[in-house]
Chain A
Amino acid sequence: MLTPEDKQRYDRQIMIPGFGEAGQEKLKQAKIVIAGSGGLGSPSAIYLAAAGVGTLRIIDHDKVELSNLNRQVLHWDKDIGRSKVKSAAEKLTQLNGRIRVEAIAQTINDMNVAAMVAGFDVIIDALDNLPTRFLLNKAAIDHGIPFIHGAVYGLEGRAMTIIPGQSACLRCLYQGIPPQEKFPVLGTTPAVIGCIQATEAIKLITGIGVPLTNRLLIYDGFNMKFTELTVNRKKNCEHCGTKKGRQL
C-alpha cells in the first residue's frame, strides 16, 4: 500500500501513462537481484533504488579499489578497501531509506547460485566475467526469472532482456568464452548500459512498454549510435533449447 509520502516521492513516474499508483505498488513489492556492484551495477542500483524497488539484493565479493572509481559511482575515495556491497548498501539506503538492501559479499558459483536468485522477480547481469554470466543465465532460465544482460568494453556496450521460455537467452547469442583479459572502459559506457538495464527491470515489473527481448542493443560510444540485432532462440541451445527438454 502506497503511503502519502510514497505518492509524493514517486509522483513524476506515477504520472507516466500506464504506470500509475498500481505500477508504483508493484515496484514497492518487487525483489531484484543485482549481480555485481561495479560499473554496471552502480547505475542500475542507484536508479532502481530511486524508483522505489522494494528489495534490492546486491551480490559482489570484491573490495573497492582505486582503479574502480572511474566508473563504479556507488564507491568513493573513502571506500577504498571496503566491501563493495557494504559501500553500495550505505549509499543506496541514504538515497532511499524506504527500500530494503541486502548486501551479499560472496562469489556466485554453481553451488550457491540457486539460493542467490530464488524468490526474486528480476536478475540484473552486472558482472565483470563471462563464466558467471553464463551460470546466472542458466539459473535464471531454470528458475523462470527474467534476466537482463549488460556488458561493456571501452566505449561499446550491449544489452538484452531474457524472458525464460519466451525469448532468446545469452547462450543463444554466444556459445563460448575467450581467454579472460583486463578490459578497458570509459565510465559513461556502463552508465548508459546500466541505466538501460534498470529501465528494462522497471518496465518488466510495472508491465509498461516493450521489453528488449530477442534484440541485442549495441551502444557505440565512439560513433554515438545504437544498433539493434535480432536474436532468435536457438533450437538446440544448451541453456534454453529443446536439448534441455523445453518447448520453443
Chain B
Amino acid sequence: MSNTINLAAYLRSYADNKESVTVKGKTIQECLNYLIKQHPGLKKMLFDQDGQLHNYVSIFAANEIVYADQMDKPAKDGDTIHILYIIGGG
C-alpha cells in the first residue's frame, strides 16, 4: 500500500523542497504520520500542540476534502493526497 502526498508550494520548504512524497498508511491520518516521520518540520505546520489538524490546512484525498474529523478515512492504495495550506496573498 502506498500513496503520494502532494504538498502545496508553501509547505515544500519543510520537506526538502519536494513537491510530492510517497507514504504508506491505511488511513489518511497514518499517511500524514508517515509523512511527518520523513519530514518532521511539517508537524507544526499541519497540526497543533494537541495533534489536531490546523483549521487553515485542507486535506484532499481522492479529489475530495477530508475534514479534521474524518482523518480515519481509509486511504485507498494509489490515491493521491493533497495538502493545502491556506494562502491569502494578493
CA distance A222 to B13 in the complex (A): 13
CA distance A183 to B90 in the complex (A): 9
For B89, give its contact among A178, A185, A216 (CB under 8 Å). Answer: A185
Write the nearest CB–CB distance from B42 to chain A, whole angstroms: 14
CA distance A230 to B9 in the complex (A): 19
Answer yes or no: A162 CB below 8 A from chain B CBs.
no
Select the stretch in A6-14, A88-96, A150-158, A203-211 that faces chain B. Answer: A150-158
CB-based contact B88/A129 at 8 Å: yes
CA distance A126 to B88 in the complex (A): 9
For A178, give its contact among B6, B63, B86, B90 (CB under 8 Å). Answer: B86
- Chain B's closest residue to A152 (CB) is B89
Contacts of A127 in B (CB 8 A): 88, 90
Contacts of A174 in B (CB 8 A): 55-56, 58, 86
Select the stretch in A23-31, A38-46, A114-122 that faces chain B. Answer: A38-46
Residue of B8, B54, B64, B86 with most partner-chain A CB within 10 A: B86
For B10, give its contact among A153, A175, A176 (CB under 8 Å). Answer: A153
Contacts of B88 in A (CB 8 A): 127-130, 133, 151, 177, 180, 183
Answer yes or no: A231 CB below 8 A from chain B CBs.
yes
Contacts of B63 in A (CB 8 A): 229-230
CA distance A125 to B87 in the complex (A): 13
CA distance A153 to B56 in the complex (A): 15
Q: List 12 A-B contacts (CB under 8 A).
A: A36-B90, A38-B90, A39-B89, A41-B90, A130-B86, A130-B88, A154-B9, A156-B87, A176-B86, A178-B56, A216-B84, A230-B64
For the complex of A and B, the 7 pairs showing the least CB-CB separation, nearest first, are A176-B55, A156-B9, A183-B89, A130-B88, A153-B87, A128-B90, A175-B55
* A residues with CB within 8 A of B: 36, 38-41, 125-130, 133, 150-156, 158, 172-178, 180, 183, 185, 190, 216, 218, 220, 222-223, 227, 229-232, 234
